[in-house]
Chains A and B, each alone.
Chain A
């Protein structure tokens, strides 16, 4: 039927019409295809360069190669910090089917702590599926062996070598070198863009100690490699490599042997021992006890270890040498004497009569001498030798607190010494101004008097005292104490000494002033009657020094304390001893603090001696004979700050540091 209807159509015309339409259609199609081709010409010819560049940007990415961290040595090249190969377990999440089951199974082969797992899970969320995420660091050989046998059970888990920081000396240098730890978000926030770029690929940063203060030297500069990546960022090939610049090696002024001697001297007692070369400010030993193992922190300390460190009552993390503040006691007397000479208030030969107590003229309040009945008539040298309080009460009063603190501030009391460690504290150097900021009570003359014997508000850090005695020993030329000695570009390069020029002219006006005070300190040890008379026995050089026994607490009674029990006294006293040698041309100055020592010379003196004996050996001399056992001196100033009641016996309590607005005497206990 349709065939018949078709036959009545005008077939010829229709064919012609179709031909025209087909040709027209084909023409339009050619136009359309040409239009598409024009677009391709536009992209592939006119914009080829732009798209070629974008294609390269797509596929070629720079990837940072972290630099090797510089090594740290002592002055003689003994290694204190290095990078050692270690092995860690790494998991590639995309290759692991059931993560929780894998962790359970793996835990049976290689013990995994809860810490390991929680840190791992956090990192898995932040990284890409095909990137290895560390699960357990620092595998032992045993663990590597056990994993190797079971490896087939754990697809996607690998043992990967890496470099980790190691501190071979462990706790002995923790308070000097500090440690590195993982870079965290706060570190990145602190950095500017350029700095952040230089940490690309680096996992660790100096957290404390030398590792932190010389981070810039130790870190180095990252290298780059150009890698071809796919759209997921997965590396396909390495196209070009620019090697990283390793960090500089650092040589410290520290002498490992002196450091060890200092720690042996402290013998497990909380305290600090510092040795400085007075000729240049180089820190030869810097010990603070108790200490901790810095290796624990490198790859993340476990919470159990951290808790043990923070809850230990002796606070091993606390750097006593740098941050502990203690009343300096009698150790400041020689410096006060030098101040009296410099300010023209005293001549060395001027004498004072000490009868056992000193009363402020016109007032009824009196202050005690160390020895009942006093030392009689003493000049400056004798006053230093015997640590005669009355001499210094009077000198302090004549000087006035502001001149006193002005003078003492030149020795960096009340301010940072500038040692190249982060976190140094300023301590307290009292003055009118200082007290006015803290109390409305105003300054009392009695507070000036006890400042003369290093008590009251005055609080110093061991590094401040070490710096002060070293500055004196170096004829008053102030060098900021520094641990850095040399740097080195690589193990085969020469050591480059670092310049640490003095911070100003000598603090000593006349050499005769220095000689007088020096003589006083020589006598302390060598006269046979001084407070440190046994410290120098058998020592091949002339030693000069000063003891100090500071009270931790304010006195509550006026009575002389007749309890001679050492343990009882140690609970009440801070024991200081400082010394330098050879006295005529000092080459080493040492300051030692024991937080709980009965007497300065008796308890801290042997520690100073131990360090100096080692120094003699280091200098090429024979080891001096060890000190005889037994008490070295008994008549140091145990009750220096004790105010003696006047004869009328009014029973006043002049102890100044009991106001609640003021810091406690024993601020060193804090922190």
Chain B
């Protein structure tokens, strides 16, 4: 069920600016993989390439062997994506929005209703199901964003900065949900909250200025003590950490 990801020499340039340079990574099925790094490190750029929103300047990403450049729609059918700062239709009701996203991902009829119902339950959105997204709190909006990403039960879930703007209790709740996804789904989590990466991820890749600095396994993370120390050590001299 879970998907395997292979990124091969993925680069993205905007004119002279290099957002991502020769990024190589392999993520095993069912793995929870974290992307960490300071702002502008290239984390979101990689996610946008992986999800087919942007084309890479060079290289390619393969999801279960399907190229995101050549077989974009096949790749997109396999993933659910929750953007950084939930990008939702604020004039839609929660349930209406989830139904729309389900339909866009090919669900219909009984399957769609069931999936929407399950998602609402899973993310505890019952009380706001009929309310407009625009009037919901940030936490609920983040949940709606995750709910739409998981609606069709995709083998690959891509989540960008999921806990930004949430209070500590909401952050804990969300982490619990994300941890629960491991094993059955491949989860790619992009964050600059190191504790979040520590708490959830099996493996973490550290990026800086578009380059992959290092990949840490769970064991390495454990033996190193604190991810924070590792991060500071690897990104020495950067003021925006």
Chain A complexes with chain B? no
**A residues within 8 Å of B by Cβ?**
none
Residues of B within 8 A of A (CB): none
